[in-house]
Amino acid sequence: MLEESFQEQIDAERKIEPKDWMPDDYRKHLIRQMSQHAHSEVIGMQPEGNWITRAPSLRAKMILLAKVQDEAGHGLYLYSATETLGISREELVQQLHEEKAKYSSIFNYPTLSWADMGAIGWLVDGAAIVNQVSLQRTSYGPYSRAMVKICKEESFHQRQGYEIMAEMAKGTAEQKEMAQDALNRFWWPSIMMFGPQDSDSPRTGNAMKWKIKRQTNDELRQSFIDKTVGQAEVIGLTIPDPDLKWNEDRGHYDFGEMNWEEFWSVVNGNGPCNKQRLAHHKKAHDDGEWVRNAAKEYARKQELLLN
């Protein structure tokens, strides 16, 4: 009975709010996806943080700093939204540290040159927007509202990355080569961000039934590829996929086979930077313990004063 009226509410496009009744599996599914999304935002600060001190101009440095701070903010909205489901931030961070919770595979690749800041903004944030615009219509109210604000900031991120790539592509031959090299290294990992193919995605069935996901992994991946091919052409860079070609019948680009072995290896903790990313997060968390303790103590004293 409760399940039926829950599903009716979903089917009628009414948002589920924290105090509404929801099936336990819906709650668990959301905690998993939203917390992994939050962890991705926070771990995603590392590859870009690597270049803040080496940005080529004051303007570039200010923009990159602002972008990385935005990612921290996105993490906070998403952790707060996840906490409305009855789990604490401490537990969520613990799950990350114990490798029970994942974060996006893309952040396990190294950032080797300044052009990588361009490739990340253009491709990684570009892919994130395609996914998150779709998630604005997700069925859980707090997640959906967090997405609206996040998408506004992601558009600025995508543009700053595309600007870096465009500038480098029309610079010296060496700069153009750096931009092309960054595109070569980040293209495939970026399209892997959308997850396994639909036929291999165990979570998609429930996610679509409960309207947590509004489009499947393959639909979103195709939409990102269709948008991005023209952008590469405009700045004179070549997407590293010989099978990429317009398919008149489908009205979409056909593209080559992804390296699924590489994808699962990165997802399962064995990518080029998995160990480094997690170790850095744990160290920052430990180093910040005194701040959390001070904040707790301050809150305790304020409460004593009020009572």
- Shortest CA distance to 19 belongs to which of 194, 142, 138? 142
Mark the segment that binds ligand BYC (CB under 6 A) among 6-14, 35-43, 51-59, 289-297.
35-43
Sign of the CA dihedral running 32, 33, 36, 41: negative
Q: Say which residue the tokens 């997407």 belong to.
A: 239
Among 6, 10, 40, 153, binds ligand BYC (CB under 6 A): 40
Smallest distance, ligand BYC to C-beta of residue 305, A: 39
Q: How far is CA 240 from CA 173, 182, 189, 190, 271, in A?
A: 18, 11, 12, 12, 21
Q: Which residue among 35, 82, 190, 204 contacts ligand BYC (CB under 6 A)?
A: 204
Taking the C-alpha atoms of residue 34 and residue 135, their distance in angstroms, rounded to an integer, is 11
Pairing of strands 252-254, 245-247: antiparallel
**Subset of 144-203 contacting ligand BYC (CB under 6 A):** 192-196, 201-203
Work out the burial of residue 61: count CB atoms within 10 Å of its CB; fewer than 13 is exposed, 13-18 middle, 19 or more buried. Answer: middle
Q: Name the residue nearer to ligand BYC (CB basis): 123 or 176.
A: 123
Shortest gap between Cβ of 220 and ligand BYC (angstroms)? 7
Tally helices (H) and strands (E) across the chain.
14, 2
The Cα–Cα gap between 11 and 109 comes to 39
Question: In terms of CB distance, is 202 or 242 closer to ligand BYC?
Answer: 202
Q: Check residue 124 for interaction with ligand BYC (CB under 6 A).
A: yes
What is the rounded (10 degree) CA torsion for 274, 275, 278, 284?
-130
Q: Which is nearer to ligand BYC, 82 or 180 (CB)?
A: 82
Number of chain residues interacting with ligand BYC (CB under 6 A): 27
Quote the least distance from Cβ 157 to ligand BYC, whole Å. Answer: 7
Q: Coil, strand or helix: which one is 212? A: coil
Q: Of the candidates 63, 166, 182, 207, which one interacts with ligand BYC according to CB under 6 A?
A: 207
Query: Position of tokens 């900031």?
Result: 153
Distance CA 223, CA 156 (A): 19
d(CA 143, CA 114): 33
Q: Which residue is nearest to ligand BYC (CB)?
A: 44
Query: Shortest distance, CB of residue 114 to ligand BYC, whole angstroms?
Result: 16
The pair of structure tokens assigned to 173 is 């031959």
- Rounded to whole angstroms, how far apart are CA atoms 93 and 99? 10
Instruction: Kindly write out the interface string for residues 214-253 of this chain, putting x where it contacts ligand BYC by CB under 6 A and - elsewhere.
Output: ---x------------------------------------
Q: Looking at 35, 36, 139, 160, which residue binds ligand BYC (CB under 6 A)?
A: 36
Q: Which is nearer to ligand BYC, 183 or 267 (CB)?
A: 267
Site string for ligand BYC, 125-154 (x = CB under 6 A): x--x--x-----------------------
Judged by beta carbon, residue 9 or residue 201, the one nearer ligand BYC is 201
| Segment (H or E) for 284 | helix 274-287
Q: What x-and-dash track marks residues 54-73 binding ligand BYC by CB under 6 A?
A: -----------------x--
The binding site for ligand BYC (CB under 6 A) comprises 32-33, 36-37, 40-41, 44, 71, 102, 104-105, 124-125, 128, 131, 192-196, 201-204, 207, 217, 267
